[in-house]
Amino acid sequence: MTTYTAPVDEMMFLFDNLKDNKRYNEIEKYKEINSELVKGILEEAAKINQDLILPLAKSGDENPCVYENGVVRTPPGYKEVYKKFIEDGWTSLSCDPKYGGQGIPKTVSTFFEEMLSSSCLSFKLYSELSIGAYNCILTHAEQNIKDKFLPKIVEGKWSGTMCLTEPQCGTDLGLLKTKAVLQEDGTYNITGQKIFITSGDHDLTENIIHLVLARISDAPKGTKGISLFLVPKYNVTDDGKVGTRNGVSTNSIESKMGIKGSPTCVLNFENSKGIMIGPKNKGLNSMFTMMNLERIVVGIQGLGIAETAFQNALAYSKDRKQGKANNSANGETDLIIRHADIRRSLMNMKSIIEGQRSFAFWLSQQIDVSLSHDNKEVRDDASNMVALLTPVIKSFFTDNGMDITNDAIQVFGGYGYTKDQGIEQLFRDNRITPIYEGTNSVQAIDLVYRKIANEGIFENFISVIDNEIKSFGDVKDINNLINVFDKYKEILVSFTKWMREKIKANKDDASAACNDYLKVLGYTAVAFSWLKTMKISYENKDKNNDFYEDKINTGNYYFEKILPKAQTHYVVGTSGSSSTMNAKFN
């Protein structure tokens, strides 16, 4: 079984030193969120994750969810821990106090999301989708619907799902067939089948609130004719209590490679009673509120699992002996951590994980601004920034998460391939993250064709970076790194220009380069976060020499060994698509 220690000190370093978004610091309700409060939250979060949630990972993998007699049953221990989880208020952490939430900002709740992902992704998915449903209902539903459904979701007594995918359509939702028929009382009868529904049915909560995409009878074809409906597993009475069973049933649950403690369901909707959420035929726009935040959270899943993989690989390297290291001065077998190649693997993991955590913290401030700032123009600017970087967080973090879990297995050698150590489970659990919530290739296409193609959003991102770096000039130790960063920023700008030209002149060239472009943007964005970290580290290294010296060394490693990968992706991406498109697959 894997072990895990929540990196509270790392998280507090970010909160105490890099909470520097001017607009974020203008949000009145977050001014009382101080260091002492945050540290207390994170320390309590660490306890429940390390002591209670972490053991569920192995339990759920060895005793997966089962579907019997029309009921989905969760693995041993899940019910007891979930009861404690909601009693302690963890589902309410980032929710509006109006509905029973604690009102904690994303800058803090994102750390908790990482801890949950590090401990047990399967367990996390039950509450994660509920918070996604909460956000969608909060943003788009009528007030009476909010008052009726949100308090129970916030409390954790009711959970939520999002139901998009059907047997004939995944990414291409224009092919959606689920029907919605208007009733005399203003509700709709929903009929159809949805597949791959995470936490679609289970025994942890007394009700499950499904958010379902469907097409009303007179809707136009394609994605412009999709509406969003709230469809509870059990109908809810006027006074907010659980009533009769709705026409929602589980057809089956999937047998999967990983996340076996989370049921992935095929759901049948047979004349189910549904309530329209948001405007008619605008359901996809409403659902994107849930999907976009969920995509960022999936990126955090990749980061969290990578952290656990790194911690276990590091511990094993300090215990396993193998051969003699080049720097060995004795005749004895050395610990593998003394071997340069093992140290290289560990530093790859460490520099990417710490850089990504810092970048996620930077973006979480933008999310809070987009949701809570008083000025609409400021909110809109932040929303555009979040929209630009959402595909990067989702894809770049999860791709790196796969590389890191793979490298962790390699550090363990043959033991990594066995079930005893738990590392192979991390790889299997993590493998879903580049797939669900829109595959990483779809994310790259979205980044290029919907964000980069439109001038302004990317330029604003570069402007924000430039303005922040201007304030670094008084820290002479990082001037050389700023020069290096500027070189890669220019590569990114040049790549952006090339992509925009190819979108107009040769879309195959642009499409073939989307993944490479996303990675160049990802490596550059994380380098920017490392610059911010190193500035603080140089300014404070005399206060805590070991901590800050380690930060400086790890940042230097990123610039020397990781960031140069961006140039390779630029060269590959801009080489065109002729050999790709001329291939014969007969």
The answer to whether the CB of 551 falls within 8 A of the CB of 529 is no
Eight-state DSSP code of residue 76 = T
For residue 255, count other CB atoms closer than 10 A to its CB. 8
**Secondary structure (DSSP) of 279-316:** STTBHHHHHHHHHHHHHHHHHHHHHHHHHHHHHHHHHH
* Interatomic CA distance for residues 273 and 223, integer angstroms: 23
pLDDT tens digit string along 506-565? 999 999 999 999 999 999 999 999 999 999 999 988 887 899 999 999 999 999 999 999
For residue 154, CA distances in Å to 102, 129, 132, 137, 210 come to: 10, 12, 11, 12, 15
Eight-state DSSP code of residue 334 = P
The answer to whether the CB of 248 falls within 8 A of the CB of 161 is no
Q: pTM (2 decimals)?
A: 0.96
Indicate the residue type of 422: G
Helix 423-430 with 376-412: angle, nearest 10 deg: 140
**Secondary structure (DSSP) of 241-264:** -EEEEPSEEEEEE---SS-TTS-E
**Which band of pLDDT confidence, cut at 50, 70 and 90, is reported for residue 1?**
confident
* Interatomic CA distance for residues 363 and 197, integer angstroms: 28
The answer to whether the CB of 387 falls within 8 A of the CB of 431 is no
The answer to whether the CB of 208 falls within 8 A of the CB of 160 is yes
pLDDT tens digit string along 3-32? 999 999 999 999 999 999 999 999 999 999
Question: How many residues does this entry show for the chain?
Answer: 586
For residue 211, CA distances in Å to 1, 92, 245, 527 come to: 36, 20, 17, 38
pLDDT at 145 over 80: yes
For residue 442, count other CB atoms closer than 10 A to its CB. 17
Residue-level pLDDT at 432: 97
| DSSP 3-state of 231 | strand
All residues at 6 or more sequence positions from 355 whose CB lies less than 8 Å from its CB, including other chains: 526, 527, 529, 530, 533, 555, 558, 562
* Interatomic CA distance for residues 136 and 150, integer angstroms: 10
pLDDT at 306 over 90: yes
Two structure tokens written together for 291: 């999907």
pLDDT tens digit string along 502-518? 999 999 999 999 999 99
User: 158-280 maps to which CATH number?
Assistant: 2.40.110.20
User: 8-140 maps to which CATH number?
Assistant: 1.10.540.10
pLDDT at 118 over 90: yes
pLDDT tens digit string along 444-465? 999 999 999 988 999 999 999 9
Look up 62 and say whether it is catalytic.
no
First vs last Cα of the chain: how many Å apart? 46
Two structure tokens written together for 80: 């007891």
Tell me the average pLDDT across 351-374. 96
The answer to whether the CB of 163 falls within 8 A of the CB of 190 is no
Structure-derived torsion over alpha carbons of residues 553, 556, 558, 560, reported in degrees to the nearest 10: -130
Residue-level pLDDT at 316: 97
Residue-level pLDDT at 287: 81
The answer to whether the CB of 209 falls within 8 A of the CB of 156 is no
pLDDT at 285 over 90: no
Handedness of CA 204, 205, 206, 212 (dihedral sign): negative
pLDDT at 330 over 90: no
* Interatomic CA distance for residues 459 and 82, integer angstroms: 45
Tell me the helix, strand and coil percentages in the chain, rounded to 5. Answer: 60, 15, 25
Beta bridge partners of 180: 190, 216
Eight-state DSSP code of residue 414 = G
The answer to whether the CB of 275 falls within 8 A of the CB of 187 is yes
Tell me the average pLDDT across 323-347. 87
Residue-level pLDDT at 141: 96
Tell me the average pLDDT across 175-203. 95
What's phi and psi for 115, nearest 5 deg? -60, -45
Q: Please report, for the chain, the start and end positions of each structural domain, with discontinuous segments joined by +.
A: 8-140, 158-280, 439-581
Two structure tokens written together for 528: 């920017």
Residue-level pLDDT at 199: 96
**Which band of pLDDT confidence, cut at 50, 70 and 90, is reported for residue 357?**
very high
Maximum C-alpha span of the chain: 86
Among the listed residues 206, 437, 455, 560, the single catalytic one is 437
Residue-level pLDDT at 472: 84
Radius of gyration of the chain (CA): 24
Q: What percent of the chain has pLDDT over 90?
A: 88
CA 108 vs. chain centroid, Å, equals: 15
CA 97 vs. chain centroid, Å, equals: 24
Instruction: Write out the H or E segment, with its range, that includes residue 269.
Output: strand 264-277
pLDDT at 473 over 80: no
Average pLDDT, the chain: 95
Which of 85-99, 216-230, 269-283, 315-329 has the least mean pLDDT? 315-329
For residue 187, CA distances in Å to 142, 162, 249, 386 come to: 13, 19, 19, 34
Handedness of CA 264, 173, 388, 285 (dihedral sign): negative
